[in-house]
Structure 1
């Protein structure tokens, strides 16, 4: 055996190769055929259109027109390339191809012709590697065509009476015209009136139809059915009710023949006749391939699943309503496996989990909301971008983003280390993800829309003091007014202590909450009325790469409440306060609608402009410095030691800050109904019912996910 193993070639010949070489090496093909072969001899000469006739032996395997050789005498194996074959060389409906032989190159990839042949002799060769030799013939590139299904190919062959192989590997012989069973016998029918040519014509016409239904219709037209004229059984009911007469066309007339002659002429079986006649009697159609799968979804399962999905709190995305119709479930469901457990808990006649996931994802277009607060959109996009779309511009933008991230991180760590002056304070703030109520792992609350609670957190780096501003959706939203109002309240209390003269704040780039002109307005207003604080700096870190100390508060609260069943909003402040015990508990302040200030009404400047009147894009701002002794706001666009840009930002002079809300806000009517249903079912204890009954539900309030992250928006929001 050659070291290169078994290979498929059309022919590999050396000099002075003749018919004796083919016979000695047991090369065979099903029939002796003449092939036009292009081959290269060992001397390097090319011989074209050489006609070679060779016969067959039992050691060769013929597959898809290629010869499977046991031995390759020359180690300089010749690679193969597909060539077209004239139609006159094809026989018995078998596709026969030849190969153009190209000298084997040592630099050729092992994944080319050689490795593909070793895996399967039936597999078509892929594109051959180009030879490094100057005398070699380059391969033509070609695209592999999709192969038809073996099942369909066998079905067509069977309908035409050709030889085919079953999926079990059993070879079914082709249909042939059988000898006349009535020859030399006394037959009462006219079977012997048909000549051999007439029988061949009937046989060929029958199998040329190539369709089982047409063939059944032909048999039905040749068979006449009549009631049995005489019964020989003593039973009242006989197994045989009808009698059948077979006819074949001889010229333009129908001639009656016996059943054995009918079978032998058409090359069929008695069972085929019986099935065709049964369809004629009972109007039975061919049901193969048309039956329902054994594990198909029943109508009752579909109906229950539809009812189950209608009861889910699935709502559209808050920011992508215009571009997609996909609905989202709250993130506390976590996975579709948990959702399937809820579905199984209500129904014993349930479908499989794979069918459940497929239907709910594909047909109903429902997903589970994944908070993107801690994810960087740019990094995630670049990581999932296909390699063929990553051009030079994409790579450059990503490298700049990484450099900006590293610069921001370095700047933040340096500021943390330099915080030794007792008059200076460094703090970070952020809004925690929505705390839904009721909260827990119970399946009873999995189908209910939940009341949203918000927690704005502030963490002082040196003192480790931590503050929580807590409110519910009836008292406000989670936009710029709420964030600015709570941060303003914190700065006022800090200024009243008269301990700090400089405050440096760190936050993320969320335009809907932190990085907007309302925040600039609030900080400018505060520095104008402050007593002890003379300087205020706010630094916007790179989104998705903030890593601020305030994030530890969120992790601590989530870990504390993970396994708790929280029934009402009033339970959250106690849980927040006791989430940390060392060095001291969190300071929690519960606010309501009356404490939210409308900073949008105070802002007089619609666009940011520098001292020279040039526009400033707020998305490019990295840091802003507010100084009590300077009327300008100093702006930096990088985290390096660059020169500041003076921003002129006048604010309205107000005596009394306007309120954003004058009464409690209504919630969505469907959410209100779900919460009341939980109270009526006593899933929520009676002592907490008053908190939910006091809410106001209204259809004008949009039904959106409570935990939708405002950081997902790209532009500054005005709401």
Structure 2
């Protein structure tokens, strides 16, 4: 270390977002009891994930997956300063990572093909699980994610996972990491993609697919699924449970209190408010006739706002001509 200091050499410390509650406690703006409870939940979640990771490595019938949505990707993404104050096409990459086999699937779509609603995420998750169990003997699925409501912790996704558990005879667990401490293996996928994007100009959404497919060099390449609007299913017709709230009255636990959900082939959903708790059934009667045929969520491309369409048209002069037709053909209001 002394030699390093003499040579003016330092170690780069990677940037890491701080947990809001931990930062508040450091400045004396958080009660000791709340902070201690927060740390206990963090350690419980980490220990639970480590235990499940070992179980899937030892037992091939157990599938453990972590999943997350990458930050919004914009198309085009250019070096030309003409693009700085223009709205662009939003692209989404929802990634699922198999912890035992290290297989990665990236579900990619732009805003004309889908939004970021619970139906879109449920479509991706159910498709991933269905593809895995079609080729492997799996009877237990464990999903790890953050607790984002519209993405991971909502009645639409719960009904879709219960439907999958019943039709495929699976046991499915959903477990949520503590807010502010949600680092997972899937985050390394997004980091690899971001490194590959450095200095790279993106002229249209398909350029992102090329980057994703070449981002991993040490293991099997990431599987990238370029989704069309017809891929997404509408799960709102599934009415097994009308709510996944563990309480019924004012002052009783809210959905955000849930730390784990269990879906069984007999059509039941159970929950935990702490990962160390025993399973408790949701306090409401499931609807045995809650199944309905799944329909497509969209019947056509989704139009973008006219202001965004005009901004994209104005950017064509700094984009190669072969991409102009794509932007000309975008549906708009």
Label 1:565 to 1:417 Cα distance change in 2 as closer, same or farther (>3 A).
same
On the 8 A contact 1:518/1:599 being kept in 2, the answer is yes
1:573 aligns with 2:216: no
Distance 1:380 1:598 in 2: 40
1:544 aligns with 2:187: no
1:428 aligns with 2:66: yes
* Structure 1 gaps, min length 5: 1-372, 699-719
Q: How far is the alpha carbon of 1:436 from its aligned partner?
A: 0.7
On the 8 A contact 1:602/1:651 being kept in 2, the answer is no
Structure having the larger proportion of residues in helix: 2
After TM superposition, the runs of 4+ consecutive aligned structure 1 residues lying more than 6 A away are 612-615
Name the residue aligned to 2:40: 403
Label 1:684 to 1:609 Cα distance change in 2 as closer, same or farther (>3 A).
closer
Name the residue aligned to 1:414: 51
2:161 corresponds to which of 523, 542, 548: 523
On the 8 A contact 1:517/1:603 being kept in 2, the answer is no
Q: How far is the alpha carbon of 1:654 from its aligned partner?
A: 4.1
Distance 1:631 1:678 in 2: 52
On the 8 A contact 1:602/1:652 being kept in 2, the answer is no
Q: How far is the alpha carbon of 1:617 from its aligned partner?
A: 2.4
Name the residue aligned to 2:4: none
On the 8 A contact 1:621/1:636 being kept in 2, the answer is yes
Name the residue aligned to 2:302: 665
| Higher-RCO chain (CA-CA 8 Å, sequence separation at least 6) | 2
On the 8 A contact 2:94/2:108 being kept in 1, the answer is yes
Label 1:649 to 1:376 Cα distance change in 2 as closer, same or farther (>3 A).
farther
Deviations 1:282-335 (A, max 9, x none): xxxxxxxxxxxxxxxxxxxxxxxxxxxxxxxxxxxxxxxxxxxxxxxxxxxxxx
Distance 1:512 1:604 in 2: 19
Distance 1:471 1:434 in 2: 11
2:127 corresponds to which of 489, 496, 500: 489
1:690 aligns with 2:325: yes
Label 1:485 to 1:604 Cα distance change in 2 as closer, same or farther (>3 A).
same
Please state whether the residue corresponding to 2:237 is helix, strand or coil. coil
1:472 aligns with 2:102: no
Q: How far is the alpha carbon of 1:563 from its aligned partner?
A: 1.2
Distance 1:440 1:677 in 2: 13
1:564 aligns with 2:200: yes
Name the residue aligned to 1:633: 269
On the 8 A contact 1:427/1:506 being kept in 2, the answer is yes
On the 8 A contact 1:577/1:587 being kept in 2, the answer is yes
1:645 aligns with 2:283: no
Distance 1:487 1:667 in 2: 26
Q: How far is the alpha carbon of 1:570 from its aligned partner?
A: 1.7
Q: How far is the alpha carbon of 1:505 from its aligned partner?
A: 1.0
Computing the radius of gyration from Cα coordinates, the structure with the larger value is: 1
Distance 1:649 1:442 in 2: 56
Please state whether the residue corresponding to 2:105 is helix, strand or coil. strand
1:379 corresponds to which of 22, 43, 49: 22
Deviations 1:135-181 (A, max 9, x none): xxxxxxxxxxxxxxxxxxxxxxxxxxxxxxxxxxxxxxxxxxxxxxx
Aligned length: 313
